[in-house]
Amino acid sequence: MPFVAQQMVNALQLGSIYALIALGYTLVYGVLRLINFAHGDIFMVGAFFSFFAAAVLGLPFLPTLLASMAATALLGVMIERLAYRPLRHAPRVSAVITALGVGLFLEHFTLASVGAQPRLMPPLIASAVYQAGPVRVTTVQLVIFLVALLLMLILDRFVNRTLTGMAMRAVSWDKSVVPLMGISVDRIIALTFAIGSGLAAAGGLLYATAYPVIEPYMGVLVGWKAFVAAVVGGIGVIRGAMLGAFVLGGAEVLVAAFLPSTYRDFIAFGLLLLLLIFRPQGILGRREVQKV
């Protein structure tokens, strides 16, 4: 039992990071019906921004978090403005290919400008271990969980309680009517990219805090996993992305705990495929009713 409880703590840590990234996929999908395949690489750039803020500028944790979120949000808005907006009315496959291209661009721009050599993230959080009953929790784990939880609560309230959040949800229901409420769809979409990218940067910093080696390709696998988490939870549904991330984190940690760790991704993804066969719209997803 203590062993399982300990694994749950690890699952929460991993799930928190996946959740922050998965939210970006689901938010952008909600307003644009586009899978932003560059999002994993936006997460990677966010990790590098955090690295520069911490290692080069010597900022402490909170300023690093805010600076990295702001810079990455700006990057997300620029990507939308330069790469996706011109294709808003193009066939969807063009936008998907552009997204893949933006991802490759970010990876190789980072590679060319900072080099392939992995960087070591300086420790920003004094490490200590707390014993809570049978479970050991590190300060790093606590910070990751609390920061992720706080950001998710803010996002959830923003989207559900404010007019701007309402406008984001309205765009996902009927984009063409939103301007008739006096709302600029372009601004809502730009805001969505800013929020999604900012959350990915937070995920990047938290990831680098837990696993302090960062390199230009780190966003590929993590990005795919967060994407899967968003789909499992129900793409386009914000609470679904959070739930899917913790389901995926839990599956990974439990498989790794009881089986050889090489089985981890294989079994975790197998389970998720199975889930999607029986519930293709995801755990909290809504079925798209296609009008004929």
Partner 1 sequence: MALLELQGVSRRFGGLQAVADLTLQVPEGELTALIGPNGAGKTTVFNLITGVYRPTGGRILFDGQDLVGLPPAAIVQRGIARTFQSIRLFKGLTALENVRIAHFARVTYGPGAWLSRGRPFREEEEAILAASYQWLERFGLARYALEPAGSLPYGDQRRLEIARAMATRPRLLLLDEPAAGMNPAEVEALMELIRWLQASFQVTIFLIEHQMRMVMGLCQVVHVLDFGRLIASGTPDEVRRHPRVLEAYLGQGAGGS
Among 112, 134, 162, 211, binds partner 1 (CB under 8 A): 162
Structure tokens, 178: 């939103």
Nearer CB in complex with partner 1: 24/165: 165
Counting residues that bind partner 1 (by CB under 8 A) gives: 22
**The Cα angle at residue 86 between residues 85 and 88, in degrees rounded to 5:** 60
Q: What is the C-alpha to C-alpha distance for residues 211 and 84, in angstroms, rounded to an integer?
A: 32
Which distant-in-sequence residues (6+ apart) come within 8 Å of 128 by Cβ?
A: 138, 139
Q: Which one of residues 184, 266, 274, 280 is an interface residue with partner 1 (CB under 8 A)?
A: 184
**Which residues pair with residue 136 across a beta bridge?**
131
Nearest distance from C-beta of residue 152 to partner 1, angstroms: 16
Task: Give the Cα separation of 147 and 198 in Å (integer).
Answer: 13
Looking only at residues 214 through 273 of this chain, which bind partner 1 when binding is defined by CB under 8 A? none
By C-beta, is 99 or 188 nearer to partner 1? 188
- Region at 282 (left for phi over 0; alpha for psi -120 to 50; beta for the rest): left
CA–CA distance, 154 with 213 (Å, rounded to integer): 29
Nearer to partner 1, 56 or 163 (CB): 163
Comparison of 143 and 195: residue with beta carbon closer to partner 1: 195
- Residues 47-66 touching partner 1, rule: CB under 8 A, are none
Q: Identify the DSSP state of 123.
A: P
* Smallest distance from partner 1 to CB 233, Å: 17
- Phi/psi of residue 137, each to 5°? -125, 130
Q: Please state, in angstroms and rounded to a whole number, the distance separating the CA atoms of residues 158 and 152.
A: 10
CA distance linking residue 93 with residue 113, whole number of Å: 30
What spatial distance separates the first Cα and last Cα of the chain, rounded to whole Å? 53
For partner 1, the closer CB: 165 or 223 = 165
Lookup: tokens for 24? 């970006």
Whichever of 177 and 273 has its CB closer to partner 1, that residue is 177
Q: How far is the CB of 176 from partner 1 (least distance, A)?
A: 8
Binding mask 164-183 for partner 1 (x = CB under 8 A): x-xx-xx-xxx-xx-xxxxx
Q: Which of residues 119-158 bind partner 1 (CB under 8 A)?
A: 158
SS3 of 30, please?
helix
Q: How far is the CB of 184 from partner 1 (least distance, A)?
A: 5
CB of 156 to partner 1, least distance (A): 13
To partner 1, the closest distance from the beta carbon of 204 in angstroms equals 22
Give residues in contact with partner 1 (CB under 8 A). Answer: 158, 162-164, 166-167, 169-170, 172-174, 176-177, 179-185, 191, 286
